[in-house]
Every structure is written in structure tokens, then in C-alpha cells.
Amino acid sequence: MNQNMFNFRQDFIRFAVGKKVLRFGEFQTKAGRLSPYFFNAGLFNDGDSLRQLAQFYAQAILASDLPFDMLFGPAYKGIPLAAGTAIALAEQGRNVPYSYNRKEAKDHGEGGNTVGAKLEGRVLIIDDVISAGTSVRESIELIRNEGALPCGVVIALDRMERGLGDLSAVQEVRETYGIPVIAIATLTDLLGYLQDEPEMQENLNAVRAYRDLFGVEDEPL
């Protein structure tokens, strides 16, 4: 990982903490585990937050060098993320189309179950996190059914945490669909941030202990 990429990952963690999107304490996960931290991307809920978040998505995409032709945002959380990221990429000189799906197909007007650009070519899925992987699976099926190629997934934070088996949700997507998953930041980046903040020592110890119990090994992007 080059230094610039490391810096923007750390900047993202600081941004998320500052917006109280990333919090520390004791939180119960869907798996019933008591986690020492919680990440809620839904709290990026004003114009300036979304603008900055989209810039981080764009940075992560451009730093990955992953070839793609368009963006797709799964309803509902992925819709503003894909739109914002398309704007941020255009500001960086990369103008690409984007599309998103409806929860229910429309049977009047233009019809169909997608809105925006036609799904074609290499499609990059933009989402907040991967937990059970349901949103990614549905997106991949939809994209393939339209004759396009899902080429990767971009998320905000990879918790690097085991699911029901030995793999994390991100690793399961990579293994099942054979596509890369790009994260703006990972648990490793979170630990790096905590190490640099002396007042966060207690949180650092708690997150390390949680990682030792439920974590998976980091992987190169």
C-alpha cells in the first residue's frame, strides 16, 4: 500500500469518528456479538457529509486501478452513494454513468426495475457495508440478467470479521463471485488510527481483543 492510499484511509477513519458515524462503546451485532465499535453509514446524512464521503469512494476506486464502465447503487442506501460517487469521479476527470434499482418493478411510464443509465459493460457496485451479502447477491443477479458484467464491489468499511464460517462476509463475496471487494478502510486501518490516539488506548485494547476473537486476516486489494 502506498503512502497516499494509507493517508486517505486514515483520513476516512478520522472523518467517520468526527461525524459520529464510527462510535466506540458496547454494541450488539446481528450475530449477537458484543462489538466495541459500531459503524452506521446512514449517519452521513447531510450534504457536506455525503460530498466528503463520495470523495473517499472516488479515491478508493481510482487508487484500486480496477477497470469499470459504470456504477450501480443497490436500493436504498446505495442510491445516494452511487450518485455522489459519480459526481466525485467526474470532478476527478472520470465521467461515468450510474444506475440503481427499484425495490419493485414499475409497470407504467418507462417501466422496468432500474433507473438511470442502461446496465452494460463492466459494472461496479457501490454499497455501504457487506454484512450478510444479500444486497450484493441481488445486485449481481440483476446486473447479469441485464447482460452486463459485475466487476467489483466498493464499500466504506470492511470489519474483517468472520461470519458463520471461517470467512468474513467480504471474503465470501470474493470467493463466491470471483470479483474484488474494495474498502475505503478496514479494521486494520481502524487499529492504526487508535494506535495514534493516546486517549483511545482503552478502545484500542477492546478492538484488538475483539479482532483476536472474531477477526480474519487482512488481504491485499
Question: Which positions are annotated as active-site residues?
Answer: 106, 108
Q: How far apart are CA 215 and CA 22, in angstroms?
A: 18
Task: Report DSSP letters for 84-115, one per residue.
Answer: HHHHHHHHTT----EEEEEEEEE-STT-EEEE
C-alpha closest to that of 71 among 12, 190, 151, 9: 151
Task: Report DSSP letters for 66-77, one per residue.
Answer: ---SEEEE-TTT
Which DSSP letter does residue 168 get?
Answer: B
Neighbours of 210 (CB within 10 A): 18
For the chain, how many residues are written?
A: 221
Q: How far apart are CA 23 and CA 37, in angstroms?
A: 6
